[in-house]
Amino acid sequence: MLTPAKKHFMKTKAASETAADDLDSYSDATQYELMLAQLAQHKRQLKAIQSTELKCAKKAEILPEYVPYVEGVIESGSGVQDDVLMTIMLWRIDAGDIPGAIRIAAYALAHGLRMPDQYKRDLATTLAEEVADNAARDPAAIPTDMLLAVYEMTVERDMPDEVRAKLQKAIGIQLSDTDKPAALDHLKRALQLHDRSGVKKQIEKLEREIQQAN
């Protein structure tokens, strides 16, 4: 358990060390090295868990240990490549902390940070697909405003059409009860991007409902 004093120390140290580095060097970033070591330990713990549900629960349990570091890095504004930060962004999505993930993603996109080498997708693609997939599994878990925030952050970024279609579909489904015309636009865009996105029935249903309402 981190004490308030320890949290403050980690946040301050992360900010000061990151600000002191250039974009390509972590030679003096002992706090970063410490967090990498902690991350490796937590990855080993997660690898030993077979259940996806239990993995997500474990991530939610350990994520608070990274909060001071994450806040320190973001507040430094240095834009240094940081594999710890990018991994924590993904873990926050898995744990259901979408606002926390978006906070990291906004910083990372603004500074051109990359996903760690083991990930094949770039940042924008990863963010859009992970959030869309989570929304597909549990629509109630991700509020509409969070989906729209991810859309706004990634709308100008290059990514596979199939991934963008997933996000459009997730937004369309979320809006189906509150804003049918907007929902229809997003679902039609999903179909335009990927003709096997699985939205044809939703489009037909919405078109009927809108016609009946008029």
Q: Which pLDDT does position 7 carry in this prediction?
A: 46
**Angle at CA 159, nearest 5°, toward 128 and 70?**
45
Mean pLDDT by 10 residues, the chain (214 residues): 50 49 48 93 97 96 96 93 96 94 96 93 96 90 92 96 97 95 97 96 95 86
Length of the chain: 214
Where do the domains of the chain lie? 52-120, 146-214
Give me the chain's average pLDDT, please: 88
Write down the pTM of the prediction: 0.82
Q: Which pLDDT does position 49 carry in this prediction?
A: 97
DSSP annotation of 176 reads T
Q: Which pLDDT does position 20 carry in this prediction?
A: 42
Q: Which pLDDT does position 5 carry in this prediction?
A: 47
Q: Which parts of the chain fold into alpha helices (H)?
A: 4-20, 30-47, 52-62, 67-76, 83-94, 98-111, 123-137, 144-154, 161-175, 180-193, 200-213
pLDDT tens-digit map of 66-90:
999 999 999 999 899 999 999 999 9
Token pair in block for residue 14: 């992360």
Q: Which pLDDT does position 140 carry in this prediction?
A: 82
Query: Residue 135's closest CA among 171, 99, 185?
Result: 171
Separation between Cα atoms, residue 58 and residue 54, nearest integer Å: 6
Q: Which pLDDT does position 138 carry in this prediction?
A: 87
Separation between Cα atoms, residue 179 and residue 185, nearest integer Å: 10
